[in-house]
Amino acid sequence: MKKILMSLCIAVLATSCGTVTFKNSSVNILKDTPPSYEQSKNYFLGGLIGTNNINVEEVCENKTAVQFQSVKTPIDILFGVITAGIYSPKTAKVWCQ
């Protein structure tokens, strides 16, 4: 039982809870405003393997992208814990003006 608990603790600690946000400083985005685009992206081995590109011009359809965010949602963290970090998705969000 101690080994299982220790393994679970290590798995939880190994899944980092990180958010990266880029935003246009001249435009204020309300925290409650839903993003124009939101999609989970695949990464592996704690995020060391995998690259994803998002074309904000396509996503925003000729509008200005005012904020971009890469975040680990609770579901992303759950997948990371269940797979012991082998599969570790992140969710990309884009807000358009």
For residue 9, give both structure tokens: 């603790």
d(CA 80, CA 6): 16
Q: What is the DSSP letter of 4?
A: H
d(CA 67, CA 21): 7
Query: Domain residue spans in the chain?
Result: 2-96
Out of 2-11, 13-22, 43-52, 85-94, least confident range: 13-22
* Interval 82-88 mean pLDDT: 90
Supply the pTM of this predicted model. 0.73
* Interval 36-59 mean pLDDT: 90
Confidence at 90, pLDDT banded by 50, 70, 90: very high
